[in-house]
Amino acid sequence: MKRYGQFCSLARAAEILGERWALLIVRELLLGPKRYSDLMEALPGISTNVLATRLRDLEDETIIRRRVTPPPTPATLYELTDDGIALKPAMDALADWGLRRLGAPSADEVRRPGWLLLGVAASTSARQSPADAIVQLVVDGEAFAVTVDKQGMSVTQGTGMPTAATVRTSLATLYALATGSTTVSAARSAGDFDVEGDRRSATVALEAIAHARIPSPTPHQPSKRQL
């Protein structure tokens, strides 16, 4: 770990989280515990030795921990500690700030539903919802539990949480909804949603995503340094 040699709280945070991939590992674990293989799949471009090093560093700093699940399906899971969970407000602020600079995805950029949902949740965390809902959202086969309440929106990956409804859709529809390129009613009329269970809860969750206020996509423009 690189040291700045400065007695400064921000410098200390940067020493711990400023290494490449560290913040993105925390991002993945904000969605829920993951196995080593899950993290390798969720972080395209990372090497096995870099992932192992970052996980060890984050463990040493008590940001993450390992937990072994019992039989019949034992596995080693990585999860956030209380110190790691305490990073969520800062991660939300960074994600919300980054949304304004996201633009349209370029052809070589990987897109994942969980990444978009974390950005949506970050942009809605400061706004109250008129109603509460817990919905399972299945996006291109990936399942997430989406909770909407007066605190905003939260997202976890997986199917373990009891939910009032299940909504199946595509990442393309989710992206269009979050950027305002379509509306809940228009997407429903087009058959872009498959809803099972409480339709009111499903509507509450989808309307929260539609009001995320992600800027409309614009063509990717190179920076002046790239020209």
Question: CA–CA separation, 199 vs 177, rounded Å?
Answer: 17
Same domain, 122 and 195: yes
Number of domains in the chain: 2
Q: Give the CATH number for residue 204.
A: 3.30.1050.10
Percent of the chain with pLDDT over 90: 72
Same domain, 65 and 114: no
Percent of the chain with pLDDT over 70: 91
* 115 within some domain: yes
> Is the pLDDT score of 221 beyond 90?
no
Structural domain including 52 reads: 9-86
Last residue of a domain, one of 38, 58, 86: 86
pLDDT at 44: 96
pLDDT at 72: 86
Q: What confidence category does residue 21 fall into, taking pLDDT thresholds of 50, 70 and 90?
A: very high
pLDDT at 1: 75
Q: To the nearest whole number, what is the mean pLDDT of the chain?
A: 89
> Is the pLDDT score of 212 beyond 60?
yes
* 194 within some domain: yes
* 32 within some domain: yes
* 21 within some domain: yes
Higher-confidence position of 197 and 162: 197
Same domain, 202 and 121: yes
Mean pLDDT across the stretch 32-58? 97
Same domain, 120 and 204: yes
pLDDT at 227: 42
pLDDT tens digits for 99-142? 878 877 888 999 999 999 999 999 875 555 556 899 999 999 99
Higher-confidence position of 226 and 115: 115
Pull the structure tokens for residue 180. Answer: 């305002």
Q: Give the CATH number for residue 34.
A: 1.10.10.10
